[in-house]
Amino acid sequence: MSFPRVFRRLTAAFLPRSLAARPALLVLGGLLGSAPLQAQDPRLPTQKPGLEAAPLQTRQLAPDRLPTDTARVFSLQDLADLVFTTHPVVKQAALLSDDARAQVQQARGGFDPKLGSGFDRKIFGGTDYYNNWANELKVPVWPGGIDLKVGYDRMVGTYVNPEYRTPLRGLAVAGLSVPLGQGLLIDERRSTLRQARILVDAAEAERVKQINEVWLQAAQDYWNWYYTYQQMLLIQEGIELAETRFRGTSRRAQLGDQAPVDSVEAQITVQDRQVQYEQLRVELQNARLLLSNHLWNKDGQPVELPAYAVPQTPPLTPLDSASFEQLLDFATNRHPTLLKLDAKIRQLGVEERYRRELLKPTINVSGYLLSRGDFYRPEVPAYYDFGRDNYKVGVDFAFPLFLRKERGKLWQTRLKVQDANLEQQNSRRVITNQVGAKYNTLKAYERQLAVQAQAIANQRVLLAAELQKFELGESTIFLVNARETKLIDLRLKQESMRASYEKALAELYYYAGTRTLRPE
């Protein structure tokens, strides 16, 4: 230790005394200058009777500490397990696919066989006016819009139109109805069924999109909870350090080794951090409540995050260029928004084809073979049985002359197809840029975290040196608190970056249309 440093310490110690002591200081300085100095460890002032020893001031903010009790850790995977199995919105999203499949089943009803029967009879004044009994089984056939028809009619009576009169034992009918113009390639039934099947893909894409939105919000709330929890821990540790320093400063002031005003400075630091701690306690409670919005039990009842639960340490998994290319490829080809728009375009394509079909004339040809109602009996004459001599045929024709209604609807459908294609192009571009922007943000956070770790290490060195100088009496409590506050701020910023990195990673997965690094 050099002479000027020792002289300054001694001078500072004796300055409060009377001016008559100045010659003694000069004499003492001369004696010290003529004698060699011995290196000694810094020691606290000698304790006065009845006073406790002043606590050491060399302890500083601890580095990152992992949770010691793993049973208290509520990890991100625990949150995912609860959200994907019990969250009401996730269950609600599953109903979209079920609803689409219900529409498919409903559309298939257009091809269900239909059995019909009707009976009418009139007797008046002893006269049997008519006795009509009509039965029909109609079976739609998928190819060609063909309808297969099997029936049995019995129409007898005095006043039955001869056109519809049948033998007493009835008349059996079996035949087909075939559209040769409109409805041959596609009709309303087939169009409805095809569009319903496409809607299943659209509903599945919408289900995935809604689940992704729920998970993004849950992940963001989780890392907000983590950041608030880390803030409270750091401020809590800062309070302990400040209280230790306040007690040591107070003892030194009582011993006369330090100015009393320094204890006031130390106490202000304690009080300031206590105010921050109380504010963070409220913020932590609110963050825990927000995270509890995503927690439900298997019975559908809301549950709250326990007060003793602690968040996990951020994994901070770096994303390499190969993984980014994989996510980008998934986003441009299998993003739920793009899949939904693709399903919409395919659905409109079916609608456009059906509208073009309506421009054709309606030409329906029907042919039925006839037989007497008891054709199953062997004694029925052959000329009453099914054959080419017993038949009924018909042709229906219709064609609007201007087709303004049909052409207008076709035009409108084509405009919708163009609109959907343009929307898909724009959405693909926006999604690609969003994924790229979030990837750039992640890389920026990686670089910032590396620099921040170096800054924290350097600040620890400065704080350690300042604490040693303070123990030697060459620093002030103000400088020590300033160094320590700066270290706490750097650590808070580091935790903020860690939480922001994890939230940016969750947003990257969301914009890519998935929730994991390896989407299936």
pLDDT, tens only, 77-103: 999 999 999 999 999 999 999 999 999
Same domain, 223 and 306: yes
Phi, psi of 68 (to 5 degrees): -80, -35
Cα 21 to Cα 9: distance, rounded to the nearest angstrom: 15
Please indicate, yes or no, if residue 174 is contained in any of the structural domains.
yes
CA atoms within 13 A on the CB side of 113: 8
pLDDT band at 5 (very low <50, low <70, confident <90, very high): very low
Please indicate, yes or no, if residue 403 is contained in any of the structural domains.
no
Q: Could you write out the DSSP letters of every residue in 447-512?
A: HHHHHHHHHHHHHHHHHHHHHHHHHTTSS-HHHHHHHHHHHHHHHHHHHHHHHHHHHHHHHHHHHH
**What percent of the chain is predicted at pLDDT more than 90?**
64
pLDDT band at 259 (very low <50, low <70, confident <90, very high): confident
pLDDT, tens only, 176-223: 999 999 988 999 999 999 999 999 999 999 999 999 999 999 999 999
Q: Are strands 362-372 and 391-398 parallel, antiparallel or unpaired?
A: antiparallel
Q: Could you write out the DSSP letters of every residue in 127-166?
A: EEEEEEEEEEEEEE-SGGG-EEEEEEEEEESTT--TTT--
pLDDT, tens only, 18-51: 333 333 322 223 322 333 333 334 333 334 545 5
For 132-141, what is the mean pLDDT?
Answer: 93
Rg for the chain (alpha carbons), in Å? Answer: 45
pLDDT at 432: 95
pLDDT at 391: 87
CA distances from 484 to 242, 266, 361 (A): 9, 12, 88
Same domain, 116 and 98: no
pLDDT at 31: 26
Over the range 302-330, which residues count as b (16 or more CB within 10 Å of their CB) and which as e? eeebeeebbbbebeeeebeeeebebbbeb
pLDDT band at 384 (very low <50, low <70, confident <90, very high): confident
Same domain, 164 and 207: no
pLDDT band at 1 (very low <50, low <70, confident <90, very high): very low
Same domain, 100 and 137: no
Domain range holding 387? 111-143+146-182+362-398
Taken in order 242, 245, 251, 254, the sign of the CA dihedral is negative
Q: For the chain, how many structural domains are there in total? A: 2
Same domain, 176 and 195: no
Please indicate, yes or no, if residue 410 is contained in any of the structural domains.
no
**What percent of the chain is predicted at pLDDT more than 70?**
86
pLDDT, tens only, 465-492: 988 888 887 888 889 889 999 999 999 9
